[in-house]
Structure 1
Amino acid sequence: MSKEKTPTDPAAHAERVRSIALSRSAAAQSSLAASWARSMRTYGLEPDARKVEARLGQAELRERRDALGRILATSAPVMDRLHASLGLAGCSVFLSDTKGVVVDHRTPDGDEEAFRAAGLYEGWVWSEAVQGTNGIGTCIAEERAVTIFRDQHFKDSNTVMSCMGAPVFDEHGSLAAVLDVSSCREDLTQPFATLIAQTVMDAARQIEADHFQTAFANRRIIRGDGDGQRGTVLLAVDGDDLVVGATRMARHVYGLTEEAFQSPRPAGDVFGDSEHRGVGLDSAERRELKRAIARANGNMTAVAQMLGISRATLYRRMDRHGLTRG
């Protein structure tokens, strides 16, 4: 990486941000410009305003951490792995709630002072409403992964950092947290930041998948089409083969609304293969017979006991459905 970096001129940065933020055409063409416009027009912020300390007390921070519950516990080992792989490059790992409050972090010893000076630390608030465009707040506002590289930040006081944030969604498909990796080092290049951003997205998906499986620990978890490519595509299925849960991306892929879980549908219907498997009582009975035979490893006496019928009845029903006795 090149270590030569021209410092951001505060006056020039503020002028550029104001010009673009107040241009309606720019906001329509660029998501970054749209975030700058929100920062000025919606939240009334100024890019060159003096830095305001926005930090929660310990009691309120504990409440925020408690509210995250399982997500906080699930994210810890993933954050540890991220810190182990990126810490030597001067990167810190942060987890925030949906209000932009940093509730957990991993920071290299040599970079802790720089992050404290920047105000990116546990208990600090990094919503767009407080800090303007940044990796955590803009990720929350847009519910998508974002990279805010140095002078792409709204406030000139935040241009010392590069921030890569990714959303973490809960088992209901709602935004639950933001995983962020940030660096205060001047030698971080944009290509390297892009690689880090992909790593952060993968880590956020891992947290989401781990959390979903924990939330539905007593259900069967099925991976859907495109899992890991476009996002975490997981579905939870109960003992009656009904889909009782789905991740945000699975809901999008299979067109599942919240109403779909109030009146659960069979997995075959959700996956769109019911016409191949057949529907109705006969098809259901045939499937249950095949499952029982498989579970009993072909032992017909055990199959009959499992189904609570006699062997003669079992054979009649097998013959009816064209199932061999071998």
Structure 2
Amino acid sequence: MQARRDVQGHARLIESAIHGHAVDREIGQEVRHSWSRCIGSYALDPLQSKKPIIVERGDLQARRERSGALLPIARVEMLGLSRQMQHSQYGIMLTDRDGVILCYTGDPGFSDIARRSGFREGAIWSERELGTNGMGTCLQMQRSVIIHRSEHFLVQNTGLTCTAAPIFDMQGNVIAALDISGSSNEPQMHTLALVEIAALNIENRTLLEAARANYILRFHPFPEFVSTPGEGVLVFDDTGIVVGANRASLELLGYRDHKSLCGEHIDVVLDTTLAQLITLSMRPSLRPEPIAAHLGHLRLFAVVQAPAPDTQSSTRLAVTPFMLGTPEVMDSRDPTMAANYHIARRVMNRDISILLLGETGTGKGHFAKEIHKASARADQPLVSVNCAAIPEQLIESELFGYKPGAFTGAARQGNIGRILQANGGTLFLDEIGDMPLSLQARVLTVLEDREVMPLGGTKPVPVDIRIISATHCDLVEMIARGQFRDDLYYRLNGITLTMPALRQRQDLRDMVHQLIRSEAGDRPLRIDEALIDRLVRCPWPGNVRQLRNVLRNILALSENDQLTPDDFDERWLHGGLVAPRITPSPTQPLTQAAVNADADFVISENDDALGDAEREALQRTLESCHWNVSEAAIKLHVSRKTMYRKMHRHGLVRQASDVRRGDPGLPDHEAAGSGRYGDAFLISAGPGHTTS
């Protein structure tokens, strides 16, 4: 009964307020006007129960794509906001101009309220649909608002406190709203300040990205404030016409709005000429230079950025690899990946080395390729070197090259080497943690001096490369153990990006959908959401690589175009086979296909026969090579790392008499069983037993 009286009281409050009658609480004019629109223009009933309309998935994706650089930039800011809002129950949302939520992140403690309220991606929170609310009213009024509890029009939302700020493009059009919603008992003025700062950062960064085809003037009365959130930004074309500006520039230059500024010639706006500004843009220094404005005797300090070279290509690359590319690096709702995309774009054309960290199969190699494709070096070679796959005795000649006759067995014409192959482009050092310590000093010299000395050579060769490296190892721990040089680590670690494991990604459901579509090609498919739910719950120790392989199995073995949970076989998660198994002959050498069959997955205990055959073949090959792991790996056409993994999996043990004459490239502490694999080599698991 009390709840019913409260509901009726909310309706009477709205009716009294819009008719100008006295009410028992302070209701601002902005809220009163919004309530009037809800009744007079939208014909809404404050007592009705109204769920948000959810747009179709395709429509949501199209809206995200139309947002361009806005969405990845906003995701980085939202991640920063979430860190500042720790220990608070909240949801952070970005909407487009129509009030459709493009991105949501929030505190887990707020998830139940968010679900009941309808805070989810794709939901329409415009004022027309859901009455007075933070996001919708902010977009309608084009200014920051706090809508606190009973200020909401619909009674169902009166338990919320919503704080929102608008985001504008360079012509002054509202394009988005940033909102923090919670269930606070009091309006949160500090939350409003946080939202406004974040919205301004998003707005300015998006403007700079969108304006790359034009000249960009960044200015402020104090030089130290240029390139900060308070700077003014003017965008003008090569004829000197102002085509865009940020809000700070209006205030600094004394203009009323964007319409009065855009379309003016730059020499009308500033007391300088177009030629002088273009000359400023050609200076290599980014130190702000003094210029004059017409407003009184105001002196400004400014830097001018010239149009980006080949802007059409640059714009395409900036959007395609990091937003519309392959599923591993698609536009991501995962905050960590969104931050990775944003940082990669900022540093990809600078002389800053990039170190990618993450588990095997998380897409480090693919991400490196996309960085190269999006950079100014895209038309130059990308050369990948897997430091774990090249035998230790060959890696030096592979990297640095050699002159004819440099050593016995050298090719007659010599070898240019991978580093010189990458000259002008990008060198990707994959599994850098597996590089032998003896070679790390030479690699460091190349990075420092930018020149290479081939084996057998007498004169160093200059080289121009940018370095991307990747590893699944803890390099800091390896430095402590003396297995990795700290000076090389600091040279490679210009910026570090961590690729999250698949089980940690918040966009896993989207990734599954995208990968299925990618693998299916033109094949028409209907996907049961129950299958997606099952796949999302899997731990995926092999990450994207394992997920892709399982999806390929599903598509290959499904007999119709409706994919359901019945098409999924649990054994695929453990490397199990569904086809009839054919056990190889014990006298037959292990084939490359058998060795390479998804080395990152363990063999199911249901496949004992196949496991026994592989174990016997591995042991036979190792014994024939006197337990020299590198030699056995070459004979089987696999990497040394794969050999170690399979030895560990099958519990293969070197006898004490074999350790001394074993792999000369294996450090003593690993030969003794205290290295990467701990005591694994000293424990016999028995034939066919899986130890992984």
> TM-score normalised to the size of structure 2?
0.36
Once the two structures are superposed, residues 43-97 of structure 1 have per-residue CA deviations (whole angstroms, 9 ceiling, x without a partner) of 1011111223422121221122122122112211101101111142112110001
Aligned match of 2:217: 221
Paired with 2:113 and 2:54, the residues of 1 have a C-alpha distance of 17
Does structure 1 residue 128 correspond to structure 2 residue 123? no
Moved more, 149-158 or 230-239: 230-239
Residue type of the partner of 1:58?
R
Residue type of the partner of 2:163?
M
Moved more, 80-89 or 222-231: 222-231
> Helix, strand or coil: the match of 1:15?
helix
Aligned match of 1:62: 61
Paired with 1:258 and 1:128, the residues of 2 have a C-alpha distance of 26
Alpha carbons of structure 1 residues 235 and 30: separation in structure 2 relative to 1, 3 Å: same
Does structure 1 residue 76 correspond to structure 2 residue 75? yes
Alpha carbons of structure 1 residues 92 and 62: separation in structure 2 relative to 1, 3 Å: same
Paired with 1:120 and 1:247, the residues of 2 have a C-alpha distance of 30
> Helix, strand or coil: the match of 1:89?
coil
Alpha carbons of structure 1 residues 48 and 39: separation in structure 2 relative to 1, 3 Å: same
Paired with 2:10 and 2:63, the residues of 1 have a C-alpha distance of 34
Aligned match of 1:36: 35
Residue type of the partner of 1:16?
L
Aligned match of 1:156: 155
Alpha carbons of structure 1 residues 21 and 241: separation in structure 2 relative to 1, 3 Å: same
Residue type of the partner of 1:264?
H
8 Å CA contact 2:242–2:263 kept in 1: the answer is no
Paired with 1:170 and 1:214, the residues of 2 have a C-alpha distance of 11
Paired with 1:108 and 1:248, the residues of 2 have a C-alpha distance of 31
8 Å CA contact 2:17–2:32 kept in 1: the answer is yes
Paired with 1:130 and 1:242, the residues of 2 have a C-alpha distance of 40
8 Å CA contact 1:225–1:233 kept in 2: the answer is no
Paired with 1:144 and 1:222, the residues of 2 have a C-alpha distance of 24
Aligned-pair CA distance for 1:235: 1.3
Aligned-pair CA distance for 1:210: 0.6
Aligned match of 1:13: 10
8 Å CA contact 1:143–1:167 kept in 2: the answer is yes
Does structure 1 residue 204 correspond to structure 2 residue 199? yes
Alpha carbons of structure 1 residues 212 and 111: separation in structure 2 relative to 1, 3 Å: same
8 Å CA contact 1:21–1:37 kept in 2: the answer is yes
Alpha carbons of structure 1 residues 19 and 211: separation in structure 2 relative to 1, 3 Å: same
Paired with 2:42 and 2:199, the residues of 1 have a C-alpha distance of 28
Aligned-pair CA distance for 1:171: 1.9
Aligned-pair CA distance for 1:230: 11
Aligned match of 1:302: none
Residue type of the partner of 1:270?
V
Paired with 1:259 and 1:136, the residues of 2 have a C-alpha distance of 28
Sequence identity, in percent? 27
8 Å CA contact 1:21–1:40 kept in 2: the answer is no
Aligned pairs for 1:169-180 (under 5 A) are 169-180=168-179
Residue type of the partner of 2:219?
R
Alpha carbons of structure 1 residues 151 and 259: separation in structure 2 relative to 1, 3 Å: closer
8 Å CA contact 1:8–1:151 kept in 2: the answer is no
Aligned match of 2:255: 254
Aligned-pair CA distance for 1:143: 0.3
Aligned match of 1:299: none
> Helix, strand or coil: the match of 1:88?
coil
Could you tell me which runs of 5 or more consecutive residues in structure 2 were left unpaired when the two chains were aligned. Answer: 285-692
Once the two structures are superposed, residues 107-134 of structure 1 have per-residue CA deviations (whole angstroms, 9 ceiling, x without a partner) of 1122112101011221111111111111
Does structure 1 residue 147 correspond to structure 2 residue 142? no
8 Å CA contact 1:232–1:250 kept in 2: the answer is yes
Q: Which has the higher contact order (CA 8 A, sep 6+)?
A: 1
> Helix, strand or coil: the match of 1:62?
helix
Bigger Rg over Cα = 2
Aligned-pair CA distance for 1:262: 4.6
Aligned match of 1:110: 109
> Helix, strand or coil: the match of 1:103?
strand
Structure having the higher helix fraction is: 1
Paired with 1:9 and 1:39, the residues of 2 have a C-alpha distance of 20
Could you tell me which runs of 5 or more consecutive residues in structure 1 were left unpaired when the two chains were aligned. Answer: 1-5, 296-326
Aligned-pair CA distance for 1:159: 0.8
Alpha carbons of structure 1 residues 220 and 56: separation in structure 2 relative to 1, 3 Å: closer
> Helix, strand or coil: the match of 2:134?
coil
Paired with 1:84 and 1:29, the residues of 2 have a C-alpha distance of 32
Aligned pairs for 1:304-315 (under 5 A) are none
Once the two structures are superposed, residues 11-58 of structure 1 have per-residue CA deviations (whole angstroms, 9 ceiling, x without a partner) of 2112111221244999x9711111111111111011111223422121
8 Å CA contact 2:88–2:107 kept in 1: the answer is no
Does structure 1 residue 195 correspond to structure 2 residue 190? yes
Residue type of the partner of 2:266?
R
> Helix, strand or coil: the match of 1:82?
helix
8 Å CA contact 1:254–1:270 kept in 2: the answer is no
Alpha carbons of structure 1 residues 29 and 111: separation in structure 2 relative to 1, 3 Å: closer
Once the two structures are superposed, residues 279-319 of structure 1 have per-residue CA deviations (whole angstroms, 9 ceiling, x without a partner) of 89xxx7xx69x97xx99xxxxxxxxxxxxxxxxxxxxxxxx
Aligned-pair CA distance for 1:215: 1.7
Paired with 1:46 and 1:78, the residues of 2 have a C-alpha distance of 36
Once the two structures are superposed, residues 128-163 of structure 1 have per-residue CA deviations (whole angstroms, 9 ceiling, x without a partner) of 111111101110110000000111101110011100
Paired with 1:156 and 1:60, the residues of 2 have a C-alpha distance of 29
Aligned residues: 271
Alpha-carbon RMSD across the aligned residues, in angstroms, is 3.6
Residue type of the partner of 1:220?
I
8 Å CA contact 2:73–2:205 kept in 1: the answer is yes
Alpha carbons of structure 1 residues 95 and 258: separation in structure 2 relative to 1, 3 Å: same
8 Å CA contact 2:236–2:244 kept in 1: the answer is yes
8 Å CA contact 1:224–1:235 kept in 2: the answer is no
Alpha carbons of structure 1 residues 263 and 11: separation in structure 2 relative to 1, 3 Å: closer
Paired with 2:152 and 2:87, the residues of 1 have a C-alpha distance of 24
Aligned match of 1:264: 265
8 Å CA contact 2:171–2:262 kept in 1: the answer is no
Alpha carbons of structure 1 residues 10 and 225: separation in structure 2 relative to 1, 3 Å: farther
Paired with 2:110 and 2:28, the residues of 1 have a C-alpha distance of 36
Paired with 1:8 and 1:31, the residues of 2 have a C-alpha distance of 26
Paired with 2:83 and 2:189, the residues of 1 have a C-alpha distance of 19
Paired with 2:129 and 2:230, the residues of 1 have a C-alpha distance of 29
8 Å CA contact 1:87–1:107 kept in 2: the answer is no
